[in-house]
Amino acid sequence: MQEQYRTLAGEGVHESEINRSRFICALAPVATEEEAQEFVARIRREHPTATHNCFAYVVGADASVQKASDDGEPGGTAGVPMLQMLLRREMRYVAAVVTRYYGGVKLGAGGLIRAYGGVVGEALDALGTVTRHRYRIATVTVDHQRAGKLQNDLRATGRSVREVSYGAAVSIEIGLPDADVTQFTAWLADVTAGTAGLELGGEAYGDA
Q: Delineate the domains of the chain, giving CATH numbers in brackets.
A: 4-127 (3.30.230.30), 133-206 (3.30.70.240)
- Asked if 142 and 196 count as a contact pair (C-beta separation under 8 A), the reply is yes
| High-pLDDT (> 90) share of the chain, % | 75
Report the predicted TM-score, pTM, of the whole model to 2 decimal places: 0.73
| Beta strand spans in 31-128 (E) | 52-59, 65-69, 94-101
Q: In this structure, how many other beta carbons lie within 10 angstroms of the beta carbon of residue 1?
A: 10
Q: 54: number of CA atoms within 13 Å, CB side?
A: 31
24: helix, coil or strand?
strand
- What lies within 8 Å, CB to CB, of 171 at 6+ separation is 139, 140, 141, 164, 165
- What mean pLDDT comes out for the span 177-202? 89
d(CA 40, CA 43): 5
- Residues 131-183: tens digit of each pLDDT: 887 788 899 999 999 999 999 999 888 887 888 999 999 999 988 887 788 89
Residue 208's pLDDT band (cuts 50, 70, 90)? very low
Q: In this structure, how many other beta carbons lie within 10 angstroms of the beta carbon of residue 86?
A: 26
- Residues 77-103: tens digit of each pLDDT: 999 999 999 999 999 999 999 999 999
Residue 205 burial by CB count (10 A; 0-12/13-18/19+): exposed, middle or buried? buried
